Amino acid sequence: MCGIIGYKGGKNAVKVVLNGLKRLEYRGYDSWGIAVKDGNIRTVKDIGKIGAVSEEDLKLGSAQMAIAHTRWSTHGEVNQINAHPHLSNNKRIAVVHNGIVENYVKLREFLKENNFEFYSGTDTEVIPNLIEFFMEEGVSFKGGVSKALAMLEGSFAIVAMHQDYPEIIGARNGSPLVVGRNNGGFFIASDVPAFLDLTNEVCYLDDKEMVIVGEGIDFFDLSGVKKEKEFQFIDWTLEQAEKGNYDHFMLKEIMEQKETIKKSIEQDDKKILEMADLIKEGYGVFFVACGTASYATRIGGYLFSKIAKKHVNVVCGSEFPYYKDFLTDKTLMIVVSQSGETADTIGAVKVAKEKGVKVLSIVNVMGSTLMRMADYSFLTNAGPEIGVASTKATTAQIALLTLLAYACNGGLEEGKEVLKKCVEESQELFDSKFVDKIEGLADKIVNYNDIYVIGRGTNFPVALEAAHKIKEVSYIHAEGMAGGELKHGTIALIDKGTPCICMVSNDEAKNDIISNAMEIKSRGGFIIGISPEDNEIFDFHVKVPDVGEASAIVNLIPAQMLAYYLAVKKGFNPDFPKNLAKCVTVK
């Protein structure tokens, strides 16, 4: 959930980590802090966002070693004391941490019994003090880190430095950590955009691994045994990770879909067909994902039923372990995640692996944990997605699942044609007139407290995701549902003028969903139709192209735009929705 960066090298470390924090703010923006070593360890910490903070504001001067953190709080309220980095009692060790120390109460009591004091309300503060405790027993900095981490229960990614040692140490178990290098130095961060302006040569740590950056770089397991690891180049660019001329990343990434949907289906045909064979042969196929990605998999479930004539089970990541008794070595699991670091999805894969399940991952980040855990993997090719609310990665996931569904029915080329048509005809959704129309719709409904979204078939999970987007960034209560479920309760909430979005495609569900919309209209609801054709019951029509089995993609895009403009008109920053962070690395 939190953003971490550490740097050692020939550049001004203060400037490097400050810029890195600004690029990581999508991972947490409650508070921030920086520690530098230039003889002694000095820290600056504050609450709020770091975007407007300058190097001069920090008054840290220059140094060649620094660690920094931007926080999404899990333990302890948001205040300056709880902001990272946290120091050991002797002030010689500084640590930044992402994750949760589940046994921190027990560890805190152990340390208090050994005369350690605590000043924050965080779980993190036990880590530097454990390192100090073990170093007082005579071990090195590396040994102190190893022994301290061996006592932690839960997930963590940490970066630590010691006043008397010339290296920075990073380690992970369950939370992501990536190492970068260039001729001028080394980087340790929770995500690649932190240092993308300086290098794209990276190496991802696996669980229970440690990296030590000194004059060179060495990798170890947490028991101290040296490991060999390889660096790789990623093809992301700094321009992709910056806003450019857009006011917000969310709008930029919505508009990028005119390109990213096309890139998502530029896959190796041979690999697609091999995966299709695995899916057809699977005795029990599970789609597993969390949040927005779970709605993409629900869409996939309908597509596999209709196109591939294949039953798949769609389960959210946090619930998947409760299906473990059904799993065998003939089961196939398809996990979907933008970051490839979602804690609950990773936990689900671990459960599946214990049963010998084959795993296919669909992720957006090269080298991510889920990509490395999977037996087979596809990249969605959407490029870095910075906005907390996923947009372009979602439609890329839907496009790739559509392609796989067609491949399972021997219709790979047909699937390509369907998606090519979707790419071509969806260009009109990014035209300025269309965008202006969506902004005008936002003006009409921005002051309502409730919005309902209905759909049937593939448009049911589209409705769920549309409502999800609206509440994520605008904080308006939005509820998505199957059109047929209205009369079982929700229709009692419809008042005069209540905005109701009706997702329509030219498919077998069209007449039924129009009837459901009529039920709402007869109770006074304001009907917004997202549909290829206008209908007399619509009070506001958003025209989308008729693209057949790819209709979920074109129906979702205007809903993303509407969510964006509702947030902006309510005065909220859609890139940083309250209480949320981009990568959910805690359970």
pLDDT tens by residue, 347-400: 999 999 999 999 999 999 888 889 999 999 999 999 889 888 999 999 999 999
What's the confidence (pLDDT) of residue 31? 87
What's the confidence (pLDDT) of residue 583? 57
Quick one: average pLDDT of 533-542? Answer: 97
- Is residue 581 pLDDT above 70, yes or no? no
What's the confidence (pLDDT) of residue 585? 54
Distance, in Å, from the CA atom of 253 to the CA atom of 187, rounded to the nearest integer, reads 27
Report the Cα–Cα distance between both ends of the chain, in Å, rounded: 10
Active site residues: 2, 582
What's the confidence (pLDDT) of residue 537? 95
Quick one: average pLDDT of 275-280? Answer: 93
**What digits encode the pLDDT tens for the residues 227-255?**
999 998 888 776 677 778 899 999 999 99
- The DSSP call for residue 304 is I
Give the Cα-Cα-Cα angle 529, 264, 423 (nearest 5 degrees). Answer: 45
Quick one: average pLDDT of 264-272? Answer: 92
Q: What secondary structure, in 3-state letters, does 445-512 show? A: HCCCCEEEEEECCCHHHHHHHHHHHHHHHHCCEEEEEEHHHHHHCHHHHCCCCCEEEEECCCCCCHHH
CA atoms within 13 A on the CB side of 362: 33
154-168, 225-239, 243-257, 520-534: least confident range: 225-239
Q: Confidence class of residue 486 from pLDDT cuts 50, 70 and 90?
A: confident
Distance, in Å, from the CA atom of 151 to the CA atom of 364, rounded to the nearest integer, reads 33
180-194, 247-261, 281-295: least confident range: 180-194
Task: Determine if the pTM surpasses 0.95.
Answer: no
Task: Kindly give the residue spans of alpha helices, DSSP state H, lying in 331-458.
Answer: 343-354, 369-373, 392-408, 412-425, 432-445
What's the confidence (pLDDT) of residue 405? 97
In 429-447, which positions are buried (b, 16+ CB within 10 angstroms) versus exposed (e)? bbeeebbebbbebbeebbe
Q: Comparing 28 with 116, which gets the higher pLDDT?
A: 116
Identify the residue whose tokens are 């759909």.
Answer: 455
Contacts of 540 (CB under 8 A, 6+ apart): 441, 444, 526, 527, 528, 529
343 phi/psi in degrees, rounded to 5: -60, -45
What's the confidence (pLDDT) of residue 528? 98
Q: Confidence class of residue 52 from pLDDT cuts 50, 70 and 90?
A: confident
- With residue 540 as reference, give the H or E element that holds it: strand 540-543
Distances (CA, A) of 175 to 151, 200, 491, 502: 16, 21, 42, 39
Identify the residue whose tokens are 């997605």.
Answer: 385
Torsion of CA 391, 393, 395, 396, to 10 degrees: 160
| Domains of the chain, start order | 3-240 (3.60.20.10), 243-427 (3.40.50.10490), 431-573 (3.40.50.10490)
Amino acid at site 134:
F
Contacts of 535 (CB under 8 A, 6+ apart): 504, 514, 517, 529, 541
What's the confidence (pLDDT) of residue 416? 95
Distance, in Å, from the CA atom of 56 to the CA atom of 367, rounded to the nearest integer, reads 36
